[in-house]
Structure 1
């Protein structure tokens, strides 16, 4: 039952992120809702669950984006694992948790994606990617991080009952 609920959440999110959210983009940048869900879920559920959520969220994103297959999967998987490691060390209901986690996760996820591109032989301008993509994405992610984190927190409580 739990897998069906979270699978549905990811599926609905990727549909919304692929169709509606680009309509509110600024210079082609729009929030990565899947990343915020992965980070929140990993912080609240641990590294094993974070890896699974990151894998499936990244896989759905790779399938929907049409970009280089595997970049989203590997970057979200590693992000889910990293934030899952902090599960026992954070106060889960603190309002600063999603804000700080989103800042770190957006930068980390972007850097992992760029590193993977470099490994695959693509040329990446690190400074341009940071200033023109990752930093604006971080600002946009911060706007939606707190409500999404609280929704994930409530859904985890609901599915645990």
Structure 2
């Protein structure tokens, strides 16, 4: 039952992120809601769950985006694992948790994606990607991090019962 609920959440999120959220983009940058869900879920549920959520979310994002297949999967999977490691070390109800986690996760996910592109021998302007894509994305993700983390926290509590 738990897998069906979270699978539904990810499917609904990818549909919204692919259709509605680009309408509020600024210079082509819009929040990565899937990343915030993966990070919140990993922080609240652990590394095994974070890897699963990151893999599924990244795979669906790769399928929906039409970009280079596998980059989103690998970067979200690794982000879910890294933040899942901190599950027992964080105070889950603290208001700064989603803000700091989203800040670090957005930078980590962006840099991981760039590194995977470099590993796969794509030409990447790292400075331009950091200043024109990742940093504005950090700001946008921070705006929506707290409400999304709160929803994920409540949904985890609901599915645990």
Instruction: Give the TM bin, normalised by the shorter chain.
Output: over 0.9
Which position in structure 1 is the counterpart of 2:44? 44
Aligned CA-pair RMSD: 0.3
Measured in 2, the distance between the counterparts of 1:88 and 1:121 equals 37
* Whole-angstrom CA distance in 2 between matches of 1:67 and 1:146: 28
Instruction: Work out the CA distance in 1 between the residues paired with 2:128 and 2:110.
Output: 12
CA distance in 2, matches of 1:88, 1:143: 26
Could you list the runs of 5+ residues in structure 2 that have no partner in the other structure? none
Structure 1 runs of 4+ with >3 Å offset: none
The 3-state SS of whatever aligns with 1:123 is coil
2:128 matched residue in structure 1? 128
| Inter-partner Cα distance in structure 1 for 2:27 and 2:148 | 23
Distance in 2, Cα, partners of 1:16 & 1:149? 17
TM-score with structure 2 setting the length: 1.00
Q: 1:119 maps to which residue?
A: 119
Query: How far did residue 126 of structure 1 move?
Result: 1.1
Q: What TM-score results when the alignment is normalised by the length of structure 1?
A: 1.00
> Whole-Å Cα distance in 2 between the matches of residues 139 and 34 of structure 1?
16
Map 1:67-146 onto structure 2 (within 5 A).
67-146=67-146
2 CA distance for matches of 1:75 and 1:158?
A: 28
**Residue equivalent to 1:64:** 64
- Which runs of 5 or more residues in structure 1 are unaligned? none
